Amino acid sequence: MATLTKLFVTLSIISLLACSTNAQLNPNFYGRTCPSLQTIVRREMTKAINNEARIGASILRLFFHDCFVNVSPL
């Protein structure tokens, strides 16, 4: 199992390094590159929450922490 994990991580890093970027954000990026992304994420989140009910709150908290942690006060 550890070997499979190491292989996955290695291949992921290699694929990220091989990708070219142009540093432009595009709100339709996943609509073009992975049209079924929302379905995949929804299915996996449902499975995760069914396995551990508290994970939904943890992921939501992580999302908002990552989004708002760098906001400066008024």
pLDDT band, residue 72 (cuts 50/70/90): low
Domain that holds residue 58: 31-69
Q: What's the token pair of residue 65?
A: 């922490």
pLDDT at 67 over 70: no
pLDDT, tens only, 9-41: 887 777 777 665 666 777 788 888 888 988 998
What value does the mean pLDDT take over residues 43-71?
78
- Known catalytic residues are 65
Residue 5 lies in a domain: no
Residue with tokens 């709150």: 57
- Residue type, position 4, single letter: L
Distance CA(35)–CA(32), nearest Å, equals: 6
Distance CA(32)–CA(34), nearest Å, equals: 6
Residue 24 lies in a domain: no
pLDDT, tens only, 40-52: 988 988 898 899 8
Residue 57 lies in a domain: yes
